[in-house]
Structure 1
Amino acid sequence: MPSLMSRCYPLLLACLFACLFVSASPVRRAEPGLLVGVGKSDVTGPIGEITMAGYAELAQKANGIHLRLKARAFIFASESAPNRRVVYVSTDMGWPSYRTLKLVVSNLQAQLSPADAALYTLDNIMMSATHTHSGVGGYADNFLTQITNFGVTPGAREAIAQGVSQAIIMAHQDLAAATVTINKGRVENASINRSPTSYLLNPASERAQYTDDVDRDMLLLTVKDAQTGRMKGTANWFAVHPVSMNVSNERVSGDNKGYASYLWEAQQALAGNPTFVSAFGQTNAGDVSANTAGAFCVDTGVACDGGKGSCGGDLSKCLGRGPGYDIGGDQLSTEIIGKSQLAKAQELSTSAVKTLTGGVVDFRKTWISLPDIKLTGQTGLNATVCKAAMGYSFSAGTTDCPALSFSWQGDNDPNASNKPFWNFVRGLLKEPSQDLITCQGAKPILLATGEMTSPYDWQSNQLPYTIFMITRKLAMLGVPGEVSTMSGRRMRAQVLQQLVSDGTADADAEVIVAGLTNSYSSYITTWEEYQAQRYEAGSTAYGPNTLAAHIQVFKTLASSFKSGSLPPASPAFPIVSEPTDFNDVNFLTPIVLDTAPAGKKFGDVSVQPGAATYKTGNKVSAEFICAHPRNGGSDASTIAADGAKPLAALPGGASSTFMTVERQVAPNVWEIVLDDAVWDTKYLWRRNGVAESRCTLEWTVGGSFPVVAGTYRMRYLGRYCRLQS
């Protein structure tokens, strides 16, 4: 029988050889990982007789809350250079505002230490709008976008800036080693192209590369804590307009993207992960609608597209509708489109295929004067980028919300029957110069916005551009406008080609078009789509070469990663300082007095809920004598009254609320369980006479937030304004 040593000898010899082999091999150090922080805060702002930002319809006022608006922040840095950071913030608002971004940076400087504040500047923050069409207006930078809000609403920019800066501070405090993965998949039945005839003008060979006339792919980043594996947050980009809530809606809402974010975060909170943040960001959705049932004439049911012959020439009747609209209106449409995005995002989060490792986290940012750009390799008008101008079809709106009955999409006929009226309007404002007319080409100019400077710029001719690199696998383009489907495809492909050829990115890297970022310049279509002059093209401000200019800027920025610095200013790449601040106009009527009826007081119930036992899915409604909502709601420190238990913070995470749902836990003792920040509650204000108000509070029992059996009450919590003596 062999001895123990003789049996172990071959094993010892094998181990010796293995150790020699390992020691002789080069030692491989782990690539630096990523640091990621996430944060979320409320950006709802003032409401009450303020036109919403999106449809630009004067009659659509923000007079209530359906779902509070949020900012969701993600900070990325490399472990090898933790102070070189990039910040992406997806914000529930109609369009971005550079002046609001400047307030964000000022807030960070005031609220962080000097060393920490220096980490976040105007250069490394992307503030991207989801483009909800049910968000609060009155904060835009340029006069054209301010007109329907009667200028700038006092407190609007400040509220957004405070929320965005708070979300960034939370992400700053949350920054830690993380595992970041990428996945991509198709979202079916959640989007359609609302200008398919324009899309068909793109080259057949180019269209043949794609299966659809919209981008159905969702790109998802999943962030997990490197130590515990806990899911900290997700950010995804899917192209669809948040227009599920239609123009008749009076309650502030994040629409389908805001709902998808809310629902996933609520699910995670109920599962014990209350700090989870989920951003459903915007990308190249310029010609993409959520009204998947298509557009039809409301009187005949005949399909229409917003062209001159639609609905007998009355475009106001040509309306797109979302799924389930005939059953549950725009709220059901919002839920369906939102849940479609949510389902895909949750699926992708469990089957990630690519991990972001190694490389650096870096950024580039510049201001560009678009009319000064000369396009490389082009001559004559093909090399020219125009001053801003809006076409006649801009006045038509889209099938999501047609603007005027006597305007139509595809309006590029100088002799069309609607021209005399619009020519009169144009003559009152400003006749475009001949240079502008020549430069804009196929676009008949209605508003020469780039030449209009009273009371200040109607549209800026200078725009900010930002690009982020997050390892060698991901590039993010901060685009200051709404990008059409094919425009986004060209932008992604050409920037990726530049990054790969420079050795900056891997061939399998993803390029994200983060639409509506940091500033708003309306639309960006391809040269071919521009010729049709549908709404998107009529709103492509800088002429037929707008897309080519954007691509050239981003390719030049992309190439600067290789050189290590921005290229010098030149005629081909003009770097200009940001526009000068100005004194904003404001024609919004202030609130000077709130009154209650004789013998009544604020907060009295005028219509009680029906006496009944309510079950999950039932709706409870009550009406209160209330005050104008622009005075604001109540915060956590002031709502403990009438037996309500004190609480440190509101359950929905906002700083104030107009309503609560409370459960009785003992005689005359009530616990606050919901406020106006959840999908299940609704708050709506209406004026009653001159200075009186009525508010309706609604609660869908157990809609998205389960509640236990018991006795509940709803409470109104607004503030009133009294005359000063």
Structure 2
Amino acid sequence: MASEAADSSAVGASAAGSPGAGSSAADPSAADSSGPGGSSGTAAAAGLVGRGIADITGEIAECGMLGYGMAYQQSAGLHTRLRARAFAFADSAGRRLMVVVCDLPLMFGSIVQAVLPRLPDGYTDSNVMLTATHTHCGPGGYAHHALYNGNTGGFRPQTFGAIVDGIVEAALAAHADLAPAALRLAHGTLENASANRSRRAFERNPADERAHFPLAVDPQTTVLTVERDGRLVGALNWFAVHNTSMTNQNRLVSADNKGYAGYHWERVVSDVDYLDRAPADFIAAFAQTNAGDMSPNLDLEAGHGPTDDMFENTRIIGTRQSEAAAALAEKAPLADPFDLVLDHRITYVDMADVRVRPEFTGDGRPHRTSGPAGGATSFAGALPDGPTHFKGFDAEQNRILGALSQRVVYPLSARARDAQAPKPIALPGGLVNKLIPLVQQRLPVQLLRIGPLYLIGLPFEVTITAGLRLRRTVAAVVGADVSDVLVAGYSNAYGHYTTTPEEYDAQMYEGGSTLFGRWQLPALQQIASELATAMRDGVGVGSGTPEPDLSGRRHNRGAKPPAEVVPPRGKSFGDQLSFARNGRVVAAEFVAAHPSIDLRRGSTYLTVERETEPGKWVRVADDGDWSTRLHWARDRAGDEQVRPRVPLRSRTAGPGRHATVRIEWDAGEAPPGRYRLSYHGNTPRGSFTGTTAPFEIG
């Protein structure tokens, strides 16, 4: 296992130990056994908590990656596996709740619709939150809306199945693991782990909101700890930063900095074995909050800051999140554990037609959202995290589309002008949706309560100031401190960005990607206020009309399967082709099968083994470890000598019928001894393994 050098940053901590005022059961007939402010200090009275973790890695070869929207960014190997980390909760009144944090680019309604029917009775769309960490280097093709399958050749049933099966597996494990636990909540600050990538838009906000974020970042890091018998067994962390340390030049499937944060803490605490299906001793999930304008690229250039190496940046930014959360967990016992009081509400809203009342619009007049429209800057991409492949789009303005919108679109529609101006419209999504489901319009807005913590579950990427307004809105209704109210972005579906109206007018990337117009945030504040009021008063809310199930539509019947792979003449699958080392980094290349024949979910494509006694080999690393990388390519390109730790940019998918896999392992601080690398693959006729000769690590 590679060594992990310590990295720290400024961390301040405070702890919260009692619920906010005025919450009640989701079922109005259910009694609230503790009442506001209750606290027991005993694990048994605090409630039941369960944890689960499972593999959700999809196709690691020849599948378009979701996030950057780059046509050439097709998966070509594996950096780190993707995980679903689930936490189930049950309070003394019998109410349930579940949060599942997924190493995915985005969460879609397609996944939610497939997962929920497979969960035990009592879990519904209202009390289950499926949320994505927003890695931009995961396989795509798992949406039922066409926009998100643009570089995948269509819908990808294998990736979709791996995600759904893994989430269900993690959720079932968490439910089965329910046991008495003590919960504590702590807040702190984490600096030097994020930067504001849209400062010009941020500066348009009112002075009091800018003063709340003096560095133009949201430094709050929040951790919810789970203890059993005085031992830390789980943690949920929320911190606002994009999961984009890995750039659009990377083609290895990767959980990025959020995934590394969980991996790092889990390995430090309990040395989790991800191939062991038994419940892990410790599970740490690093969830998103209002990260819409927060970049991990501290130099505001893709792949730069704090170093010029995207892999190292991933490790450093992930380590900073992990160590900040761990420091808070150490301080959390200073607070009494809180009684676990659960509550939940959800409503589905047609975001294209919300009538916003004057008290939320900011100008004292009623307004109305409109159909989804993508702005010109949304096609340019967020430059600090990497441009898109759409040529001719500028990150600041588009004179042609701007003039067309101002002179043609807006004069013809007063409603569009009020909702969307000054956006230079590049994609009238509302019109396209009438022909083919392009983006989701009926979107869920959710409010969860876990003791003192309130989570506003939104299917949007919310800027920090937009998030602050939402948090203040809910906090004022339920009587909570604003630090105890978090926006849980990227949850339950996806509807692109949400900015403040002031930021919207700047029409930078985030404003251009706020599909339903400048009144979108006020609309969400209005909806969140209604959910919070219902929760406070112990009454239900109208569920609204969910998005229809689109799984049966023709465009979701599956992408074309990958071309066949066969071994070269005179070779067999698994035959070793080369071996090389560079210091303590070793690499071996093998004749490969196509990884999509078997995704090896919950298993591994590679192992690193150490000889502990003559003839006895023990696994020390696999493809879920930071110390390993797997590169897959059709036809061999380049030298016979393998160059460890060099991205295979020249190895693009082509028409060749042969394939190779290169396994790399950084021995780091591994003890001296004899080791070997193995590649595990599958053909339609069965599995195979290729293994190197033993080699020495001094």
- Are residues 1:597 and 2:568 paired? yes
Matches within 5 A, 1:217-616: 217-225=220-228, 228-270=229-271, 274-295=280-301, 319=302, 321-325=304-308, 329-352=309-332, 353-358=334-339, 360-377=341-358, 382-399=366-383, 400-403=385-388, 404-411=390-397, 413-414=399-400, 435-453=415-433, 456-471=436-451, 473-500=452-479, 506-507=480-481, 510-568=484-542, 575-582=544-551, 583=553, 584-585=555-556, 588-610=559-581
Q: Residue in 1 aligned with 2:594?
A: 628
Shift in Å at residue 180 of structure 1? 1.0
- Are residues 1:191 and 2:162 paired? no
Equivalent residues of 2:52, 2:86 under 8 A apart: yes
Change (3 A) 1:624 1:536: same
Shift in Å at residue 77 of structure 1? 2.0
What secondary structure is seen at the aligned counterpart in 1 of 2:352? helix
Change (3 A) 1:507 1:597: closer
Instruction: Summarize deviations over 1:177-213 as a string: whole Å, max 9, x none.
Output: 1111111111121110001000001112331233221
Change (3 A) 1:375 1:355: farther
Equivalent residues of 2:108, 2:494 under 8 A apart: yes
Change (3 A) 1:77 1:85: same
Shift in Å at residue 667 of structure 1? 4.7
Q: Residue in 2 aligned with 1:503?
A: none
Q: Residue in 1 aligned with 2:624?
A: 677
What secondary structure is seen at the aligned counterpart in 1 of 2:181? strand
Range that drifts further, 352-361 or 542-551: 352-361
Change (3 A) 1:30 1:289: closer
Range that drifts further, 243-252 or 99-108: 99-108
> Counterpart of 2:182 in structure 1: which amino acid?
T
Instruction: Quote the Cα distance in structure 1 between the aligned partners of 2:542 and 2:495.
Output: 25
Instruction: Quote the Cα distance in structure 1 between the aligned partners of 2:488 and 2:193.
Output: 19
Shift in Å at residue 81 of structure 1? 1.4
Change (3 A) 1:667 1:260: same
Partner residue of 1:56 out of 54, 69, 79: 69
Equivalent residues of 1:65, 1:676 under 8 A apart: yes
Shift in Å at residue 432 of structure 1? 9.8
> Counterpart of 2:93 in structure 1: which amino acid?
A
Instruction: Quote the Cα distance in structure 1 between the aligned partners of 2:180 and 2:47.
Output: 6
Q: Residue in 1 aligned with 2:646?
A: none
> Counterpart of 2:238 in structure 1: which amino acid?
W
Shift in Å at residue 385 of structure 1? 0.9
Instruction: Quote the Cα distance in structure 2 between the aligned partners of 1:176 and 1:100.
Output: 28
Change (3 A) 1:587 1:662: same
Instruction: Quote the Cα distance in structure 2 between the aligned partners of 1:43 and 1:710.
Output: 33
Q: Residue in 2 aligned with 1:19?
A: none
- Are residues 1:174 and 2:143 paired? no
Instruction: Quote the Cα distance in structure 2 between the aligned partners of 1:214 and 1:555.
Output: 25
Change (3 A) 1:721 1:565: same
Partner residue of 1:211 out of 199, 209, 214: 214
Change (3 A) 1:594 1:548: same
Shift in Å at residue 265 of structure 1? 0.6
Instruction: Quote the Cα distance in structure 1 between the aligned partners of 2:305 and 2:518.
Output: 31
Instruction: Summarize deviations over 1:471-498 as a string: whole Å, max 9, x none.
Output: 2x11111111100010011111111101
Range that drifts further, 148-157 or 690-699: 148-157
Instruction: Quote the Cα distance in structure 2 between the aligned partners of 1:29 and 1:101.
Output: 34
> Counterpart of 2:463 in structure 1: which amino acid?
S
Instruction: Summarize deviations over 1:81-122 as a string: whole Å, max 9, x none.
Output: 13x1111111100100122122212332xxxxxxxx112122
Partner residue of 2:93 out of 81, 86, 106: 81
Instruction: Summarize deviations over 1:365-386 as a string: whole Å, max 9, x none.
Output: 1111123321122699851111
- Structure-2-length-normalised TM-score: 0.83
Q: Residue in 2 aligned with 1:695?
A: 661
Equivalent residues of 1:103, 1:158 under 8 A apart: no
Instruction: Summarize deviations over 1:670-689 as a string: whole Å, max 9, x none.
Output: 33332111111111101115
Equivalent residues of 1:369, 1:463 under 8 A apart: yes
Partner residue of 2:611 out of 658, 661, 664: 664
Range that drifts further, 548-557 or 583-592: 583-592
- Are residues 1:709 and 2:672 paired? yes
Larger-Rg structure: 1
Instruction: Quote the Cα distance in structure 2 between the aligned partners of 1:544 and 1:215.
Output: 22
Shift in Å at residue 592 of structure 1? 4.5
Q: How many residues align?
A: 612
> Counterpart of 1:408 in structure 2: which amino acid?
D
What secondary structure is seen at the aligned counterpart in 1 of 2:356? coil
Equivalent residues of 1:592, 1:722 under 8 A apart: no
Q: Residue in 1 aligned with 2:683?
A: 720
What secondary structure is seen at the aligned counterpart in 2 of 1:161? helix
What secondary structure is seen at the aligned counterpart in 2 of 1:578? coil
Equivalent residues of 2:183, 2:340 under 8 A apart: no
Instruction: Quote the Cα distance in structure 2 between the aligned partners of 1:441 and 1:479.
Output: 24
Instruction: Summarize deviations over 1:392-443 as a string: whole Å, max 9, x none.
Output: 1111001111124521123264576xx89x99xx99xxx9977435531111
Identity of aligned residues (%): 36
Instruction: Quote the Cα distance in structure 2 between the aligned partners of 1:92 and 1:275.
Output: 20
> Counterpart of 1:287 in structure 2: which amino acid?
D
Question: Greater relative contact order (Cα 8 A, min sep 6): structure 1 or 2?
Answer: 2
Instruction: Quote the Cα distance in structure 2 between the aligned partners of 1:181 and 1:342.
Output: 17
Shift in Å at residue 589 of structure 1? 3.3
